[in-house]
Structure 1
Amino acid sequence: MTQTETLTSRWAELRQQQPNLRIRDAARQLGVSEAELLATGVGKTVVRLAGDFRDLLKQVTTLGHVMALTRNDALVHERKGTYEKVSFSGHMGLVLGPDIDLRLFMSRWTFGFAVDENGRKSLQFFDAQGQAVHKIYLTEQSDRAAYDALVDHFKAPDQSDELALEPTPDRTIDQPDNEIDVAGFQQDWLGMKDTHEFFGLLRKYGVGRQQGLRLAPDGHAQLLTMDHVKQAMTLASERMVPIMVFVSNPGCIQIHTGPVKKLAQMGPWYNVLDPLFNLHLNETLIGQVWLTKKPTADGIVTSLELFDTDGQNVCLIFGERKPGKPELESWREIVGDVASPQPLS
Structure 2
Amino acid sequence: MMNAKTATPAARPAFPAPADVARLRSEFHRVKTEQNLRDRDAAAALGVSEGETVAAFVGKHVVRLRPEFIEIVEALPALGRVMALTRNNAAVHEKDGQYETLSHSGTIGLGLGKDLDLRIFYHQWAYGYAVETPAENGPRRSLQFFDKAGTAVHKMFLRTHSDLAAYETLVARFRADDQTPGQHVAAADAPKAETPDAGIDAAAFQRDWLAMSDTHQFFDMLKRHGVSRAQALRLAPDGHAQQVSAASVRTLLEDAASTDLPIMVFVGNAGMIQIHTGPVKNIRVMGPWVNVLDPGFNLHLREDLVDTAWIVRKPTSDGIVSSLELLDASGMVIAMCFGERKPGQPEREDWREALVRVAHATGAQGVTEASA
What TM-score does the superposition give when structure 1 sets the normalisation length? 0.97
Residue number in structure 2 paired with 1:153: 173
Task: Compute the displacement of 1:174 (Å).
Answer: 1.1
Residue number in structure 1 paired with 2:364: none
2:266 & 2:330 partners in 1: Cα distance? 18
Q: Which runs of 5+ in 1 are unaligned?
A: none
2:124 & 2:67 partners in 1: Cα distance? 14
The one-letter amino acid of 2:325's match is E
SS at match of 1:232: helix
Residue number in structure 2 paired with 1:337: 357
Mean CA deviation greater in 189-198 or 250-259: 189-198
2:290 corresponds, among 270, 277, 294, to 270
SS at match of 2:71: helix
Residue number in structure 2 paired with 1:6: 23
Given that residues 264 and 338 in structure 2 are in contact (C-alpha distance below 8 angstroms), is that contact kept between their aligned partners in structure 1? yes
Residue number in structure 1 paired with 2:6: none
Mean CA deviation greater in 110-119 or 7-16: 7-16
1:299 corresponds, among 314, 319, 334, to 319
Q: Name the % identity.
A: 51
Q: What is the alpha-carbon root mean square deviation over aligned residues? A: 1.2
Q: How does 1:150-299 map to 2 (within 5 A)?
A: 150-299=170-319
1:68 corresponds, among 84, 109, 117, to 84
Q: Which runs of 5+ in 2 are unaligned?
A: 1-17, 361-366
Given that residues 56 and 183 in structure 2 are in contact (C-alpha distance below 8 angstroms), is that contact kept between their aligned partners in structure 1? no
1:156 & 1:201 partners in 2: Cα distance? 40
Larger gyration radius, structure 1 or structure 2: 2
Task: Compute the displacement of 1:51 (Å).
Answer: 4.2
Cα deviation code 1:19-49 (max 9, x no counterpart): 3x11110111000000101112111111110
Cα deviation code 1:123-152 (max 9, x no counterpart): 000000000000000001100000000001
Cα deviation code 1:198-241 (max 9, x no counterpart): 11111111111000000011111111122222111111111111
Task: Compute the displacement of 1:162 (Å).
Answer: 2.6
1:128 & 1:277 partners in 2: Cα distance? 28
The one-letter amino acid of 1:183's match is A
Mean CA deviation greater in 162-171 or 280-289: 162-171
SS at match of 2:189: coil
SS at match of 2:280: coil
Given that residues 247 and 303 in structure 2 are in contact (C-alpha distance below 8 angstroms), is that contact kept between their aligned partners in structure 1? no
1:45 equivalent in alignment to 2:61: yes
Residue number in structure 2 paired with 1:109: 125
Report runs of 4+ in structure 1 exceeding 3 Å deviation: 342-345
Given that residues 58 and 182 in structure 2 are in contact (C-alpha distance below 8 angstroms), is that contact kept between their aligned partners in structure 1? no
Task: Compute the displacement of 1:16 (Å).
Answer: 2.4
The one-letter amino acid of 1:199's match is F
Residue number in structure 2 paired with 1:319: 339
SS at match of 1:226: coil
Given that residues 244 and 359 in structure 2 are in contact (C-alpha distance below 8 angstroms), is that contact kept between their aligned partners in structure 1? yes
Task: Compute the displacement of 1:183 (Å).
Answer: 0.7
1:99 corresponds, among 111, 115, 119, to 115
1:13 & 1:205 partners in 2: Cα distance? 49
Task: Compute the displacement of 1:164 (Å).
Answer: 2.8
1:296 & 1:38 partners in 2: Cα distance? 43
2:287 & 2:56 partners in 1: Cα distance? 31
Cα deviation code 1:42-92 (max 9, x no counterpart): 111111101411111111100001000000010000000100001111100
The one-letter amino acid of 2:214's match is D
